[in-house]
Amino acid sequence: MDDQGCPRCKTTKYRNPSLKLLVNVCGHSLCETCVEALFVKGSGTCPECGTALRKTNFRVQLFEDPFIEKEIEVRKKILKDFNKKEEDFDTLEEYNDYIEKIETIIFNIINNVDVDETRQMVEQYKRDNKDQISKGRNKKSKDEEYLESLIEQEQDENVRKRKLIIEEEQRQKDTKKRHKEALLDELMFSDRSAMDILSEHKTDLDKENELRAPVMPTTKFSTGIKLGAQGPFMSVPQETIELYRYSPVHLEVLGPDPPDEEALETIGYLNHIRSASEQESAGGFDSKLACMRALLDVVNGLYYLPLQVS
């Protein structure tokens, strides 16, 4: 792959690692130095395609292919005006036609196909749907509202957890302080030995820790979604279905039934069938299979009765 570089001054990132490439709406990139030189007055033309450009519209090129940058910019502008949601349409077919129309507009502008007609169509759409476009920019989709509700639930859950943690820490501090004061009082005024007092004190602490209320099990994910809840972003529930049951193939034979495959060798049919070689066995060939097919061909149609036309 060719190194990224400026098409005007021919400087590449291989020679100048600090080279900063900028791209505009036309999709052709220029280095920062060339942009400063060509657009001193704030506007000018692209040296590659001659498109009229403004200096303020240049931005840092993030992708190796500048046309990807162009598509991102065009798509962002088009979707800013074509902002209807799926719930704004009566049928899914109408919504799909709307999406196809958007993609056609973006494709035409990016690839310079009927650009003038396409831009006129976009401007006409903006004039005809001015009020709807303004409402659509402030309207949130169902997915966005659902995400916001999840974030709000998670924030409330985090506040509740922090409150519980602070209360538990304060409770532990008060408990330690109370036990410390009781231990000091008993060491000062009791006639018992210090070892017995310390041992009893440690036993009491262990019992209190065991009797402490257990931590409640987790009922929500980190996103705030309750365990077992269903939503538009949850995975599809698993369904238990009956496994495949094999049913033997029944052949309608217009004649006597052929012998079973297990009886071919005992009756003697295989005496006239050559054994399969190692190569044939590896490929799936079996002498019983060939014999059974020959017998089916023989007996099939022996009792055939033609249709009688009355």
**For residue 54, which phi and psi values (nearest 5 degrees)?**
-115, 145
CB-CB contact of 256 with 302 (8 Å): yes
3-state SS of 181-215?
Answer: HHHHHHHHHCCCCHHHHHHHHHHHHHHHHHHCCCC
Quote the crossing angle between the two packed helices 194-211 and 142-189, to the nearest 10°. Answer: 160
Token pair, residue 305, equals 């009765």
Per-residue model confidence (pLDDT) at position 138:
67
Q: List Cα–Cα distances, 170 to 165, 167, 175, in angstroms.
A: 9, 5, 9
Per-residue model confidence (pLDDT) at position 220:
56
Per-residue model confidence (pLDDT) at position 110:
82
Residues 6+ apart with CB under 8 A from 168: none
What's the pLDDT tens digit per position in 223-246? 555 555 555 555 556 677 777 888
Hey, is 226 helix, strand or coil?
A: strand
Q: Which helix (H) or strand (E) holds 34?
A: helix 32-38
CB-CB contact of 197 with 183 (8 Å): yes
Per-residue model confidence (pLDDT) at position 128:
83
Residues 6+ apart with CB under 8 A from 71: 106, 110
DSSP secondary structure string for all residues of 153-171: HHHHHHHHHHHHHHHHHHH
Measured at the CA of 161, the angle between CA 158 and CA 164, to 5 degrees, comes to 150
d(CA 21, CA 59): 8
Per-residue model confidence (pLDDT) at position 39:
87
Per-residue model confidence (pLDDT) at position 1:
40
Residue 35: Cβ within 10 Å count: 22
**For residue 114, which phi and psi values (nearest 5 degrees)?**
50, 50
Question: What does each of the 310 residues of the chain score in pLDDT, given as a tens digit?
Answer: 456 788 888 888 888 888 888 887 777 888 888 888 888 888 888 888 888 888 888 888 777 777 787 788 888 888 888 888 877 888 888 889 888 988 898 888 888 888 888 888 888 888 888 777 777 766 666 666 777 788 888 888 888 999 999 988 888 888 888 888 888 877 787 778 878 778 887 887 777 767 665 545 555 555 555 555 555 555 556 677 777 888 887 777 777 777 777 788 788 888 877 888 888 888 888 888 888 888 888 777 776 666 665 5
d(CA 21, CA 35): 9
* Torsion sign over Cα 213, 216, 217, 221: negative
Hey, is 135 helix, strand or coil?
A: helix
Per-residue model confidence (pLDDT) at position 139:
66
